Homo-oligomer: A and B are copies of this chain.
Amino acid sequence: MAPDTTELVKHVLKGNRRAAARLMTLTESLSPEAHAAIKQLYPYTGKAHIIGITGPPGSGKSTLVDKLIEKYRSHNLSVGVVAVDPSSPFTGGALLGDRIRMNRFASDHDVFIRSMGSRGHLGGLAWATMDVVHILDAMGKDIIMVETVGAGQAEVDIVQLAETVVLLSVPGLGDDIQTIKAGIMEIGNIFAINKADLDGADRRFVELQSALSLGQEGDGWEPPILKVVATTGEGIEDLVKAIQDHHEYLVESEEIVKNRERRCYAQLETIIERSFIRKLLMDPDERTLFDKLVAEVDQRKTDPYTAAERLILHLIKTPKK
């Protein structure tokens, strides 16, 4: 059953969608083959422009992303999409809605859409998303969009992946200005108000504007606020333009260098965290100690923090001086 990693990698690098889908599934099951493949693919990554699209449920993210795909395709750019929904137990196009989305672009080999749910990603959705982005990047996609739901953890994690973050909102969804300010304003590079034909769009615009002016330090990039109607495609060209402008800003200001370093840092941190614990649990000796400490914590003979410290001290090398 072991897939030929090198063969798989070869096909992914050629942009083969079946091979890419297969590798993504392997990645999600945390198979060693998948890690070997990512290692081989990694040198071919770093070329795509990675865009995060985030907003509350009901803000029309997937419709917007579909319109962006069409627009990018009309500019002859290839597109990869990772739709992350931590509240979905499904991964990999199992949802009916995703299948419909995929079908719209089924005949276009330069579009690849992958949906990721929480299934099988216990504590590792960000990690799995990272790998899928690497695969799309190595496939040669010019544009990679990472689409996430909500306004919390997932959005913060996106920042670790995306170079340009589009924050989507809609009029009258009830998230008041306070929430926006305190929460996620700082992660948005571009603000888009979807369903801008609805009542309240102007009010939303003013709210965003005043919230932005509060946070604004004049440090180069001033996040634009755009009105779009994803269903009709109104304003999408302007949004594509704004995304492009932001990318140019990143390159010219050399912010992109810092961005990418930050991303590598976060990636490495995530991988080390997960790898360390797996390594730990695979060593029979350490595993015995771990189990012993679990029992002690359970019996209140020790507490989890002290137990963790003991285990780590036992594992890591003593300081050299």
Contacts and interface: CB of A to CB of B under 8 A. Distances in A.
A121 B153 contact: yes
A46 interface: yes
A77 B247 CA distance: 58
Contacts of A88: 151-152, 179, 183
Nearest to A41: B303
How many copies make up the complex?
2
Interface string A179-208: 100111000000000000000000000000
Point out which of A89, A121, A125, A261 has the most chain B C-beta atoms below 10 A from its C-beta.
A89
A320 interface: yes
A118 B156 contact: yes
Contacts of A118: 152-153, 156
Contacts of A312: 272, 275-276, 279
Number of contact residues on A: which range applies?
Answer: 35 or more
13 contacts: A39-B305, A42-B304, A88-B183, A89-B183, A90-B179, A90-B183, A118-B153, A121-B153, A271-B308, A272-B276, A275-B305, A283-B319, A315-B317
Interface string A294-306: 1101101001111
Given A88-B152, A315-B316, A268 B290 contact: yes
Nearest to A40: B303
Contacts of A39: 303, 305-306
A57 B125 CA distance: 21
A309 interface: yes
Contacts of A249: none
B89 A305 contact: no
A221 interface: no
